Amino acid sequence: MSGETLTASEYIKHHLQNLTYGKIPQGFEHAGSWGFAHTPEEARNMGFMSIHVDSMFWSIILGALFLLIFRNVAKNATTGVPGGLQNFVEWMVEFIDTNVRGSFTGKNPMVAPMALTLFIWILLMNFMDIVPIDWLPHLAGMLGADFLGMDPQHVYFRVVPTADPNITFGMSLSVFALMLYYSIKNKGVGGFVGELTLQPFEAKNPLVKLLFIPVNFFLEFVSLVSKPVSLSLRLFGNLYAGEMIFILIALLYSGGAALGIFGGVLQWAWAVFHLLIVLLQAFIFMTLTVVYMDMAHSSH
């Protein structure tokens, strides 16, 4: 997995491949059985029922970490001078509550907790991009060799869940499902269909209004479907690009002492700048979710 055994192209491809578990496709060794993919080609041919184990592992671990920390702080909260962790949690809760109050005009006690969960969860997943690019994959390679009997070069392990479109689309589609549910619940089927067919073009003449319906539906349907797509791709694209830049910087360490020193400075500079992206993308995802939920609770 190091630059000594892999070419630059192989190194990049290795770091961009997920640890995939699924049914071994035809044409590969042990076809028909279930197991981990040993090559990117094998992973691509596993089909819909395969799973990215590394993305699921880190997203679940970080989600559980968020729940554990916030639960313990809430359980042990004191009324006196708060400690550092309690002070941070209270600040985060107040920050999210202020943003929700400014963007959400409806009444739904679920929106603020959902916004807090999304912000902290995505923030933690994004922060995995700051971990040095080779540390955890190298550890996973050693564990895979010891416990699974796999060649370390065939143990793929990505540590940034939000650089996996399956994770970002999963979150955005969940938000989209809630948006549709509350739109129909608050406006009724007729009101929801009316928003898709009776705007933006309107007319008092019934015949003209009827002619506008397919045009309005096309425009509003595209706008509706674009919400989860843009929500997921924005987060994925920014984190994928950040991960790619860290990989390219890591290649400099195999180019000698001078390039190694330059790579270290460059990595530090990019990590500092990337912190802003990590925070901003979590905030944007949370804010757009609140805005979409507000749209679901508003009637035209």
DSSP of 204-232, one letter per residue?
Answer: SSHHHHHHHHHHHHHHHHHHHHHHHHHHH
Q: Which of 2, 72, 230, 299 is catalytic?
A: 230
Collapse the DSSP code of 59 into the 3-class scheme (helix H, G, I; strand E, B; otherwise coil) and give the result.
helix
What is the layout of strands, in order, in the sheet containing 20-23?
34-36, 20-23, 51-52
Q: Which of 119, 35, 81 is nearest to 289 (CA)?
A: 119
Q: What's the token pair of residue 139?
A: 């550890």
Q: Which of 45, 234, 254, 298 is catalytic?
A: 234
What gap in Å lies between CA 55 and CA 61, rounded to an integer? 10
Q: Which residues of 124-159 are buried (b: 16+ CB within 10 A; e: fewer)?
A: bbbbbbeeebbebbbebbeebeeeeebebbbbbbbb
Tokens 């076809």 locate to: 31
Computed over its alpha carbons, how large is the radius of gyration of the chain? 24
What gap in Å lies between CA 10 and CA 7, rounded to an integer? 5
Task: Confirm whether 238 is a catalytic residue.
Answer: yes
Q: Residue 3 phi/psi, 5° resolution?
A: -65, -15
Q: Which of 238, 254, 298, 299 is catalytic?
A: 238
DSSP character for 22?
E
| CB distance 104 to 294 below 8 Å | yes
Task: Confirm whether 230 is a catalytic residue.
Answer: yes
Q: Residue 24 phi/psi, 5° resolution?
A: -65, 125
Distances (CA, A) of 178 to 123, 296, 298: 21, 9, 14
Residues that are catalytic: 230, 234, 238
